[in-house]
Chains A and B, each alone.
Chain A
Amino acid sequence: MNAAYQFVTGPLAWAAWGIFLLGSAWRLVAMYRLARKKDASAIAYMSWGYSLRSIVNWLIPFNALGWRKNPAMTIATFAFHVCLIATPVFLVAHVMLWDQAFGVRYATIPDAAADGMTMLVIAACLFFAGRRLAMPDVRAITTPKDWFALAIVLAPFLTGFLAYHQAIDYDTMIVLHVVTGEIMLAAIPFTRLSHMVFAVFTRAYMGSEFGGVRHARDW
């Protein structure tokens, strides 16, 4: 047990963070170089103002047309994304680990809140899964990759939730939690989760094209 735990929280954690950070940076640089080479016309129209305008407008729930026409999805996806990022970042136990390892301390959220947020993430994942099964137009476009992405995200929250409540076998669960979390980090640059890295740019381009070329909104 100790050896396993030490391995997943030691070398494996370094590897996961390394893959996530370096992988994302490499993907961004590679994509930028590709864009320089072949999407010069798109780069020429990129504008800070229109990019930010579009991003901000899409970050407001029910502001964009797409949000308004898909209300349930809007609630689910906003709750999901906020909790997905905030819970692990501000979780007391995680901050403790930063503190122990690097002496880094910052604000935390109460465990009860984190517990609720985790349940929200799990619930949102179930909602997404339900859509993929129940809605014909979503089912038609769902691929194994999408289930894979969903599973990768669900796993650390589910195991984290079980570990926190020390249900089932704690020792196994905590190792599983660490491993699944690391899988998620490492998967970000190379799976559907790469939208975390690229979405800001695809949105920014669309904002720039609609703002600068069509003189229209894109939300």
Chain B
Amino acid sequence: MQPPTLWDWETGQKVVLASIERPENCAWVEEPTVSPDGERVAVLASLEAGGFTALVNGEPWENSFDKVWQPRFSPDGRFTAIVQRDGMWTVAVDGQPWEENFDYVWNTQFSARGDVVAACIQSGGEYGVCADGQPWENLFANGSQPTLTADGKSAALVVQTASLKPADLDAFQAGVFSVAVNGQAWDATFVNCWTPEFDAQGAHVAAQVRTTLYDYTIAVDGRIWSESYDCMWEPRFNPATGKVVAPVRAKGAWGLAQDGQIIWEPVFAQCWHQVISQDGRNIAAIVAPAFGEFTVAVNAKPWSIRFPEVTDLVIGRGGERVAALGNKENAEWRVLVDGRTWPGVWDMAWRPVIGPDGAHVAVKVEKNGRQSLLVDGRPYPREFDRLCDPVFSPDGAKLLIRAIDKGACVRIVADVAQA
């Protein structure tokens, strides 16, 4: 329950839980989840006596429930799960359920610091969001694709503003979808809305919309761009300028548009997953210069390396580092950093993690069923049964390794320089 600056960054290893084996009173336990600071490990457990609970560092919650699912640690280290009692669902935070109950709850979300916990709710066939136990006042005929502002004060949801009779083509194409922010839907409705996204301050929302079956564009706070496109992907706000950048398809090829103006000429067979540095100066995206050949383009310039697939693109805060993964049909994974391929081919690799100052990159990888880390391209000298994503210390000098190995949950803090 503390920000990363206050975590234990003393170099060394600590055993958080000696055994993640099933305790005697449990019929089974599910897969362990480790807290962001690595100090706690939680599992959902089916009790021999009936019902479910969670064990956090081996200690059961005070409460048990009829059902428990979606175990997630909040960024501040609280353990949450969605729980059911007497047929009604809610969210339990460290074992304490919200007072409000709903017909269904899913999609737990957190603010950046973790102080706000929110989830999608369905109550009496109506849909909305509930944050810290406070449900929206207005609910909707349907709701999906929730997103939360960084401070957790606002939530947005794609909502259906009117119910549809079965197979009513006219009503659907007239547009019954919109985006609701804190229960208030935009005035405008669309044929479809997808991937709402807040700006850094949480003041504006942009979403992809389809105004007819054929015209795709971006709506910001309900107002659409003047241009429409053959197709598009998720918008992102430039953190520095507040402008909205989205991949668009025009004349049969993909590029990037910003506030309705093309900023990357549409020359790619595909372009998506754009990321923008904090200063707003560098934009990178996964692109396909030719069919079936993917790479990363930084400021519209594609890297020379090509792979059948490229995923998990990340950019450093300052934009000085760009990293992604390449693979061939979900095998032969490689780590790509700044246009170069790190040595080594892996059965699987996970989203690269760039240190806060951009100096270092760490990536979790797996080979022959054993997981390990690559730090700046060097393999970490130890392998584990399972790893969580690595975390850099706020000053970027230390690396937190959260691992499960030989039945124990361990927490290792390593010097990046020596890792």
Contacts and interface: CB of A to CB of B under 8 A. Distances in A.
Direct touching of A and B (C-beta under 8 Å): yes
Interface of A: 40-41, 43-44
Contacts of B291: 40-41, 43-44
8 contacts: A40-B269, A40-B290, A40-B291, A40-B292, A41-B291, A43-B291, A44-B291, A44-B292
Contacts of A40: 269, 290-292
Contacts of B290: 40
A215 B290 CA distance: 25
A43 B292 CA distance: 10
Contacts of A44: 291-292
B119 to A, nearest CB: 40
Nearest to A40: B291
A41 B293 CA distance: 11
By secondary structure, the A interface counts as: helix
Question: Considering residues B269, B290, B291, B292, which has the most beta carbons from chain A within 10 angstroms of its beta carbon?
Answer: B291
A32 to B, nearest CB: 15
A82 B292 CA distance: 40
B270 to A, nearest CB: 11
A41 B292 CA distance: 8
Contacts of A43: 291
Contacts of B269: 40
A43 B290 CA distance: 11
Nearest to A37: B252
A56 B350 CA distance: 44
A211 to B, nearest CB: 16
Given A40-B291, A41-B291, A43-B291, 5 more contacts: A40-B269, A40-B290, A40-B292, A44-B291, A44-B292
A153 to B, nearest CB: 38
Nearest to A39: B291
Nearest to A41: B291
A43 B269 CA distance: 14
Interface in B279-309: 290-292
Contacts of B292: 40, 44
Nearest to B288: A40
Interface in B370-415: none
B268 to A, nearest CB: 12
A41 B290 CA distance: 10
B308 to A, nearest CB: 10
Nearest to B308: A44
A185 B269 CA distance: 40
A43 B293 CA distance: 13
A41 B291 CA distance: 7
Which 6 A-B residue pairs are closest in the complex by CB-CB distance? A40-B291, A44-B292, A44-B291, A41-B291, A40-B269, A40-B290
B56 to A, nearest CB: 47
Nearest to A45: B292
A170 B108 CA distance: 93
A40 B269 CA distance: 9
A144 B241 CA distance: 65
Interface string B252-275: 000000000000000001000000
Nearest to B293: A44
A96 B379 CA distance: 75
B15 to A, nearest CB: 48
A163 to B, nearest CB: 53
A44 B290 CA distance: 10
Nearest to A42: B291
Interface in B227-264: none
A57 B269 CA distance: 35
Nearest to B292: A44
Nearest to B252: A38
Contacts of A41: 291
A207 to B, nearest CB: 19
B290 to A, nearest CB: 7
A44 B270 CA distance: 15
A40 B293 CA distance: 11
